[in-house]
Amino acid sequence: MKNVVIKTELLCKSFISDGEVNNVIKNLDLEIYEGDFTVIMGSSGSGKSTLLYNLSGMDDVTTGKVYFEGIDITRMKEKEISRLRKERLGFVFQGINLIPNLNVYENILSPTYKTKAQRREIEGKIDSLLERMELTSHRKKFPNQMSGGQKQRAAICRALINNPKILFADEPTGALNSSQGENVLDIFTTINNEGQSVVMVTHDLKAALRGNRIIYLKDGRIDGELNLEQYDKITASDREEVLYKFLKERGW
Ligand SMILES: Nc1ncnc2c1ncn2[C@@H]1O[C@H](COP(=O)(O)OP(=O)(O)OP(=O)(O)O)[C@@H](O)[C@H]1O
Ligand SMILES: [Mg+2]
């Protein structure tokens, strides 16, 4: 049995625009398991990003509960939740990229606590992350001096600096060319193999195949899930076929 890291109960999220209520997430019950590489798919506007924001405490729920390791984060005060986000969760969100006036090194350092005792340890960790992401020679560069792939890798370093319990990623390969995308996905696969839980939203079939569990969202509800682990023994192209069929059946 896998441990549950995040659990939602009757999660609802609505937005009001032009005086109209838009119910985006509807009574959603979901469990995310420790060590899983969970992939969230669904058509544009189905609520994937909204769900990710709610799961990670980046945005308030309208009603319902979100538990992180059994603790209800919907009842947390802003200070507590921001501390939780900073210390326990990592984010790689397309669009929310790096802080423009900080260089790569400073960006990665930004979510850490800089007490003297921790400083040396953190510096060592940044060095090893930079090396791993092949960014060592870019450490002093500012975001506008780097390619999309380099920026995305720097954002991953920043997301990983505090050893988060869960890494959340929203379309992490969306803005990258295919080799840059593969590179980012290889990093996710590696950290997941090391035990890190990953929750990723993607439109990309190849990216989704990195996961072991696919959740399909339709109009703010779960419209099925696919356990890819049971297909471990079949070939990669057959796995792709299984996933494609699962998605097609849901109108993807
Ligand atoms: N801050 C907001 N204010 C008002 N409406 C919002 C807000 N954020 C999202 N929505 C609405 O919620 C719905 C779901 O949006 P969301 O971004 O979650 O979709 P998505 O599944 O991530 O789509 P995509 O695949 O295009 O990224 C959309 O109708 C969107 O207009
Ligand atoms: Mg989205």
Which residue, among 2, 56, 51, has the nearest Cα to 28 in the 3D structure? 51
Residue 51 confidence (pLDDT): 97
Question: DSSP letter at 2?
Answer: P
Task: Please give the helix or strand (H or E) that residue 65 lies within, else none.
Answer: strand 63-68
Domain range annotation of the chain: 4-249
Cβ neighbourhood burial of 235 (10 Å; 0-12, 13-18, 19+): exposed
On whether the 4-249 domain is CATH 3.40.1280.10, my answer is no
Residue with the two structure tokens 């840059």: 180
Residue 40 confidence (pLDDT): 98
| Choice from 49, 52, 204, 252 to test ligand 1 binding pocket (greatest atom count within 8 A of CB) | 49
Residue 8 confidence (pLDDT): 98
Q: Which atom of ligand 1 lies closest to the CA of 46?
A: 21
Residue 95 confidence (pLDDT): 66
Which residue, among 112, 222, 120, 121, has the nearest Cα to 157 in the 3D structure? 112
- Rounded to the nearest angstrom, the distance between the alpha carbon of 45 and the centre of ligand 1 is 5
pLDDT, averaged in runs of 10, over the chain (252 residues) = 96 94 97 98 96 95 97 95 90 81 94 77 91 92 90 91 92 84 90 94 95 97 95 91 96 88
Residue 29 confidence (pLDDT): 98
Which residue, among 79, 80, 84, has the nearest Cα to 166 in the 3D structure? 84
Would you call 133 helix, strand, or coil by DSSP? coil
Please calculate the CA angle 177-40-32 and round it to the nearest 5 degrees: 130
